[in-house]
């Protein structure tokens, strides 16, 4: 079987299984299985695929046909134009989360001088590392309750050339920290516990429960962060958090009770309130 035939056959199987974007998935899996980019697959499509290449592609296809997300199979997800390696301990970064990065950058744009950044629930490191890539004078700390997530974020920082400006620790939110930060960001777990089982299988079955479970009402992590954030936020600092669908009013209410003022709420590309920007009142 040629490489082009293998890609077409893979797409046909994915199409019969009624999976989304079968052609794209087949192309991405083939690139990984063959160890070449798509331009090379096109240019050398008539070359026979090696048995080892076909075996790797078959293994990946079986995983996809069982519902495993394409980014989990490949072990990488792009965010803010950068590749982030995934592990079982990390949430797969979503495009909606880029709204948090954009809102945070806008909030700190007027500031001058070096910035200190704290990422609570750092996961793959996508928020902190995206911000460091845009703010060359900044440094940051990422905290996660899962040791595997903190290790994954550290590895991503090293791969992206940002480890010199970032450190990562395992801890219960900010409890182990004593300093103050100019910018705090977080994508906390915000799914109500009873709703997790009804999420799409690609989410419920493959994203870590620790990164999804927001307690009975989905607001537990927000409450914890907001209670401790005044201690961690420098004078004039900004706190930016991702919002779950329909949670903006409730989170804003919790923030107000904790002494914060809302500077703005940013919508994602679908028009959903996705990031809240806060400062001390």
pLDDT single digits (tens) 93-117: 999 999 999 999 999 999 888 999 9
Residue 231: its pLDDT value, please? 96
Q: Are 20 and 90 members of one domain?
A: no
Q: Are 48 and 170 members of one domain?
A: no
Determine what percent of the chain is predicted with pLDDT higher than 90.
94
Q: Are 19 and 97 members of one domain?
A: no
pLDDT single digits (tens) 174-229: 998 988 999 999 999 999 999 999 999 889 999 999 999 999 999 999 999 999 99
Q: Are 227 and 275 members of one domain?
A: yes
Q: CB neighbours (10 Å) of residue 126?
A: 28
Determine what percent of the chain is predicted with pLDDT higher than 70.
100
DSSP letters along 202-237, please? HHHTTS-GGGTB--SSS-HHHHHHHHHHHHHEEEEE
Residue 74: its pLDDT value, please? 97
Q: Are 25 and 147 members of one domain?
A: no
Say how far apart CA 126 and CA 83 lie, in whole Å.
9
State the total domains in the chain: 2
Q: Are 219 and 170 members of one domain?
A: yes
Say how far apart CA 113 and CA 226 lie, in whole Å.
26
Q: Are 250 and 221 members of one domain?
A: yes
pLDDT single digits (tens) 262-279: 999 999 999 999 999 999
What is the CATH number for 26? Answer: 1.10.8.10
pLDDT single digits (tens) 51-98: 999 999 999 999 999 999 999 999 999 999 999 999 999 999 999 999
Residue that finishes a domain, picked among 74, 103, 122: 74
Q: Are 215 and 260 members of one domain?
A: yes
pLDDT at 281 over 80: no
Residue 44: its pLDDT value, please? 86
pLDDT single digits (tens) 137-165: 999 999 999 999 999 999 999 999 999 99
Residue that finishes a domain, picked among 28, 56, 74: 74
Residue 182: its pLDDT value, please? 98
Q: Are 149 and 41 members of one domain?
A: no
Provide the pLDDT confidence category of residue 256 given band limits of 50, 70 and 90.
Answer: very high
pLDDT at 38 over 90: no
Q: Are 101 and 34 members of one domain?
A: no
User: First and final CA of the chain: distance in angstroms?
Assistant: 66
What is the CATH number for 190? Answer: 3.40.50.150
> 56 lies in which domain range?
3-74
Mark residue 225 as left, alpha or beta (left: phi above 0; alpha: psi -120 to 50; beta: remaining): alpha
């Amino acid at each position: 079987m040629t490489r082009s035939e293998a890609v077409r056959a893979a797409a046909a199987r994915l199409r019969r299984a009624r999976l989304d974007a079968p052609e794209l998935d087949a192309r991405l899996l083939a690139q990984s299985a063959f160890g070449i980019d798509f331009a090379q697959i096109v240019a050398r499509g008539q070359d026979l695929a090696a048995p080892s290449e076909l075996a790797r592609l078959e293994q990946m296809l079986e995983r996809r046909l069982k519902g495993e997300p394409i980014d989990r199979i490949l072990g990488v997800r792009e965010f803010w134009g950068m590749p982030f390696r995934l592990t079982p301990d990390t949430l797969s970064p979503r495009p909606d989360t880029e709204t948090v990065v954009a809102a945070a950058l806008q909030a700190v744009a007027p500031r001058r001088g070096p910035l200190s950044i704290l990422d609570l629930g750092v996961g793959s490191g996508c928020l902190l590392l995206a911000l460091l890539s845009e703010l060359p004078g900044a440094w940051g700390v990422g905290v996660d309750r899962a040791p595997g997530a903190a290790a994954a974020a550290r590895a991503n920082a090293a791969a992206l050339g940002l480890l010199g400006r970032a450190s990562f620790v395992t801890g219960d939110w900010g409890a182990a920290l004593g300093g103050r930060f100019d910018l705090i960001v977080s994508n906390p777990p915000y799914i109500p516990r009873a709703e997790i089982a009804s999420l799409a299988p690609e989410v419920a079955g493959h994203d870590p429960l620790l990164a999804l479970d927001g307690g009975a009402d989905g607001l537990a992590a927000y409450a914890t962060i907001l209670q401790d954030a005044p201690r961690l936020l420098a004078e004039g600092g900004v706190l930016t958090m991702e919002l779950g669908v329909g949670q903006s009013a409730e989170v804003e209410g919790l923030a107000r009770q904790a002494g914060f003022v809302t500077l703005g709420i940013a919508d994602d590309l679908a028009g959903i309130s996705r990031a809240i920007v806060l400062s001390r009142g």
